[in-house]
Structure 1
Amino acid sequence: MAPAGLSLGASVLCLLAWARLATADRVYIHPFHLLVYSKSSCDQLEKPRAESPPDPTFTPVPIQAKSTAVDEQALREQLVRATQQLEAEERLRAVKVGVLLNFMGFHMYKMLSETRSAARGAVLSPVALFGTLTSFYLGALDPTASRLQAFLGVPGEGQGCTSRLDGHKVLSALQTIQGLLVAQGGAGSRARLLLSTVVGLFTAPGLRLKQPFVQGLSSISPVTLSRSLDLSTDPDLAAEKINRFMQAVTGWEMGRPLTGVSPDSTLLFNAYVHFQGKMKGFSLMPGLQEFWVDNTTSVSVPMLLGIGIFHYWNDTQNNLSVTRVPLSANACLLLIQPHRAPDLRQVEALTFQHNFLTRMKNLSPRAISLTIPQLTLKGFYDLQDLLAQTKLPALLGAEANLGKISDANLRVGKVLNSVLFELKADEGEHPTESAPQPAGPEVLEVTLNSPFLLAVLERDSAALHFLGRVSNPLSAA
């Protein structure tokens, strides 16, 4: 594998080198011991193949088959239940995975950003991206499994079974991270945050999938839809059928994310993520307001207004400001605004880096009147394209060994992540950090009416759920 492909894992390993140092004079503990196979699991895995029955398989039903509509409230409650009575080890595992997915998110966001002009927005879900690659790891055999493990940031090649990544542990940690984001009110409460993930596995007719692989995806995506259709005769028609099917099942208006299906593909992997955040204490301003796409062009958009004590940092050295807005007890929205709109790309490159969370510690409470566009961002990206930019175009290519997904010689086509990101007012309530309302200090006016960056952070795991660039609130990312 090309050295560039290992740089991400090497960077993460350097950051966690303290784990090696802390045990240098004792029995060696793998720095990722919470994410790799235990000795007992290895003993089970290393049993002679003759003692293990073959994995059961099934043929996905045709895409025309009826499917139950997604119940987002039920998905949220399922995530909340997964975080109740968490063991200390499970919380620590979520933190470890949070570090890995943040590094992966920054790395891949850079790839995505470089392919798009500043006039075009971008939105990426590090959790969905990491979950997608872990899902393929779950279905991979060596050498593909070792290469995916290294790219995910966990070294293990040549170190034995107890250094091999346990994909089920990682997906379970990702479920914990998702649940912590939305669990502010408990199951059954009125949700201010919704986070739903649906995976679509679309196969050529007759291809059989292995049940353990599909069942293993339930942690990251309780709704996994396996469907078959002809991908070879009319790829554009196949893409249209998939888009219609997913919109019918989810009800999410994601536009037309899937196009250009390769006719020789036998498997498409599509992860769809919907996030909806209601901003506590914010109200919808009357009429439409101007948002300046550039120095000469503006669009009319709905705006939200909130007044309270928010955390703020004016970084004069790097010509940017950051405002932190609570979305729940565990989650916050980070808004990064360049002092000058033309500096957006420079600020983006400077901000979305490995030291992002460390730099966010510079924020301090301040009385603020904050104006922000109401957002409905639609974004999609093909991980195959991002891997090619990372100089790993063959990682999921024709030579990939995905024998745990199917016994057939799979040809993976699109590996799509689609994101629908919504921010709206939760009127009638006061912001978590705004009681009492500011009376003494001068209220700072912060108005995001030109291109800005955003991130959604879950504090317990320190995982970044979304990274985005808002160039025009009315256009797709």
Structure 2
Amino acid sequence: MAPAAVSLRATIFCFLAWAGLAAGDRVYIHPFHLLVYSKSSCDQLQTSNAETPKDPAFTPVPIQAKTSPVDEEALREQQVLAAEKLEAEDRVRATEVGMLLNFMGFRMYKTLSEMCSMAGSAVLSPTTLFGTLASFYLGALDPTANRLQAFLGVPGEDQGCTSRLDGHKVLSALQTIQGLLVAQGGANGQARLLLSTVVGLFTAPTLSLKQPFVQGLAPFAPITLPRSLDLATDPDLAAEKINTFMEAVTGWKMNRPLTGGSPDSTLLFNAYIHFQGKMKGFSLLPGLQEFWVDNTTSVLVPMLSGTGTFQHWSDAQNNLSMTGVPLSENACLLLIQPHGASDLRKVEALTFQHDFLTWMKNLSPRATRLTVPQLALRGSYDLQDLLAQVKLPTLLGAEANLGKISDANVRVGKVLNSILFELKAEGEQPIESAQQPEVLEVTLNRPFLFAVYERDSTALHFLGRVANPLSMV
């Protein structure tokens, strides 16, 4: 079968698989046998708890300490190598976590969307969100651990050890999910994808962190940076130091930097993620093009254009069109555009909820010339705000039991997820293509929605809204 046909079939399959997850009710088959503790693991835990002294702890070095910059290419190579060594059980475990994080992603995106103005863009990473909560689960004791497990989507039926999530297995599955996305880049002539995750653990100078907790974050965030600084005297100055430090380490500019938090906080958890997708066969159009923010206002933005066989469907009843573009052999970019700017809120509510399955079944291959803005979306949100909106303001509050993070009483302040999402052409020079009859013209020059999905794990990596490519998220 020709590579184009394989890619097309993969695109159809992954969209339909995603649709089934999005449309289903939140019903889980318990136990998630690959994510909970096995009987032998429980026996080992009981023995180690009885015999082992306290976990070794350390005080993070001051934030002024010299730190090497992030090498994103080296991170990508590590992800590719890890993906090449995956076994069947690793893939099944990743699928289980993929299902859980998708449900949470849709729920929390709805919450984030309601908090944001429709005049602005929005972007959320379900994988980073789930990984952040799983990281806190790794550091939690009951009753906080039990509440976090329930929120992650796995009920602990009898409260026994074999009903409890193994945090290390969950974070390992997230590592698999990240690796599967980037490992497909470059295959069969597709452009490479880049996905980098960095976690900053910022503590009060007197707070010591347990080594097993920090080391346990490595599968989710291969670069974890514990640093100490004065969080109490001047929270705004502390925020400025953190922003300067993270920008120097990552090289990523975040347009909404961390602002001062509560002076009684002793731990800030900041997860930073960078995604870069280069679209195969697309080129940057010369000059700037008009993007209509609403019916009367436009801005000038760089646009990408490419011609190929993409999945497409136009729905007159709901006033929207959908276009699916393969980013790699297994990764899909789905673009959803309302026919009118005023329909954005309605289409957003429908897209990431119950109508997804019906819509996916209607997608069909079309010879298409697609024009879409070049994107560099920068978004930040405090998970504490999202938890408050879903009636869980105390989940990581002052009473949270995080005894696996530190022997001291940990008071969690801001829990930040910061995202840099880039969509570029593979090259800057126009790519000549043979003339095709009846080519469908699809131009996303009005507000639209997007998602990035990986087929093998069924995981949603990003959900977003582009109301204005030039606006802050």
Q: Residues 176 and 48 (structure 1 numbering): CA distance in 2 closer, same or farther, change over 3 Å? A: closer
Q: Distance in 1 between the 2:105 and 2:430 partners? A: 32
Letter in 1 for 2:335: L
Equivalent pair of 1:321/1:337 in contact (CA under 8 Å)? yes
Determine the structure 1 residue equivalent to 2:470: 474
Determine the structure 2 residue equivalent to 1:66: 66
Which 5+ residue runs of structure 2 have no aligned equivalent? 1-21
**Which structure has more RCO (C-alpha within 8 Å, separation ≥ 6)?**
2
Matched, 1:307 2:307: yes
Shift of 1:50: 3.7
Shift of 1:152: 0.2
Determine the structure 2 residue equivalent to 1:106: 106
Shift of 1:313: 1.2
Equivalent pair of 2:281/2:426 in contact (CA under 8 Å)? yes
Letter in 2 for 1:404: K
Determine the structure 1 residue equivalent to 2:182: 182
Equivalent pair of 2:23/2:355 in contact (CA under 8 Å)? no
Q: Residues 157 and 139 (structure 1 numbering): CA distance in 2 closer, same or farther, change over 3 Å? A: farther
Determine the structure 2 residue equivalent to 1:138: 138
Determine the structure 2 residue equivalent to 1:198: 198
What SS does the aligned partner of 2:379 have? strand
Match for residue 459 of structure 2 among 438, 442, 463: 463
Q: CA RMSD in A?
A: 2.2
Q: Distance in 1 between the 2:339 and 2:91 partners? A: 38
Match for residue 454 of structure 1 among 450, 453, 457: 450
Determine the structure 1 residue equivalent to 2:237: 237
Q: Distance in 2 between the 1:217 and 1:345 partners? A: 37
Q: Residues 294 and 206 (structure 1 numbering): CA distance in 2 closer, same or farther, change over 3 Å? A: same
Shift of 1:255: 2.5
Shift of 1:16: 4.8
Q: Distance in 1 between the 2:354 and 2:89 partners? A: 25
Count of paired positions: 451
Runs of 4+ aligned residues of structure 1 deviating over 4 Å after TM superposition are 11-17, 428-431
- Note the 1:433-444 alignment, pairs <5 A: 439-440=436-437, 442-444=438-440
Equivalent pair of 1:132/1:271 in contact (CA under 8 Å)? yes
Shift of 1:439: 2.4
- Note the 1:385-396 alignment, pairs <5 A: 385-396=385-396
Equivalent pair of 2:239/2:258 in contact (CA under 8 Å)? yes
Q: Distance in 2 between the 1:210 and 1:251 partners? A: 28
Equivalent pair of 2:23/2:357 in contact (CA under 8 Å)? no
Determine the structure 2 residue equivalent to 1:129: 129
Q: Residues 355 and 297 (structure 1 numbering): CA distance in 2 closer, same or farther, change over 3 Å? A: closer
Q: Residues 96 and 354 (structure 1 numbering): CA distance in 2 closer, same or farther, change over 3 Å? A: farther
Letter in 2 for 1:469: R
| Greater CA drift, 252-261 or 120-129 | 252-261
Letter in 2 for 1:468: G
Q: Percent identity?
A: 77
> Can you list the C-alpha shifts for 1:83-136, whole angstroms capped at 9, x where unaligned?
113211111111111110000000000110001111011000000000000000
Q: Distance in 2 between the 1:463 and 1:438 partners? A: 36
Equivalent pair of 1:58/1:208 in contact (CA under 8 Å)? yes
Q: Distance in 1 between the 2:48 and 2:127 partners? A: 36
> Can you list the C-alpha shifts for 1:42-68, whole angstroms capped at 9, x where unaligned?
001122734122101000000000001
> Can you list the C-alpha shifts for 1:58-80, whole angstroms capped at 9, x where unaligned?
00000000001000001111111
Determine the structure 2 residue equivalent to 1:8: none
Q: Residues 284 and 454 (structure 1 numbering): CA distance in 2 closer, same or farther, change over 3 Å? A: same
When normalised by structure 1's length, the TM-score is 0.91
Letter in 2 for 1:386: L
Letter in 1 for 2:297: T
Q: Residues 361 and 109 (structure 1 numbering): CA distance in 2 closer, same or farther, change over 3 Å? A: same
Q: Residues 374 and 463 (structure 1 numbering): CA distance in 2 closer, same or farther, change over 3 Å? A: same
Determine the structure 1 residue equivalent to 2:247: 247
Which 5+ residue runs of structure 1 have no aligned equivalent? 1-10, 20-29
Shift of 1:291: 0.5
Determine the structure 1 residue equivalent to 2:115: 115
What SS does the aligned partner of 2:128 have? helix
Matched, 1:346 2:349: no
Q: Distance in 2 between the 1:411 and 1:13 partners? A: 37
Determine the structure 2 residue equivalent to 1:4: none
